[in-house]
Amino acid sequence: MPFEIISTYQPTGDQPQAIAQLVEGIQNGEPSQTLLGVTGSGKTFTVANVVAQIDRPTLVLSHNKTLAAQLYGEFKQFFPNNAVEYFISYYDYYQPE
Residue 18: give the domain boundaries: 1-96
Q: By the 8 A CB rule, do 65 and 73 touch?
A: no
Say what the pLDDT of residue 97 is: 66
pTM comes to: 0.89
Domain CATH code at residue 29: 3.40.50.300
Measured over all CA atoms, what is the biggest interatomic distance in the chain, rounded to whole angstroms?
A: 47
Q: By the 8 A CB rule, do 39 and 70 touch?
A: no
Q: Within 10 Å of residue 49's Cβ, how many Cβ atoms? A: 25
Q: By the 8 A CB rule, do 55 and 3 touch?
A: yes
Say what the pLDDT of residue 95 is: 65
Task: Determine the residue type at 94.
Answer: Y
Average pLDDT per block of 10 residues along the chain, 97 residues long: 94 97 98 95 97 96 92 98 92 69
How long is the chain? 97
Say what the pLDDT of residue 1 is: 83
Say what the pLDDT of residue 89 is: 81
Say what the pLDDT of residue 91 is: 75
Please give the tally of structural domains in the chain: 1
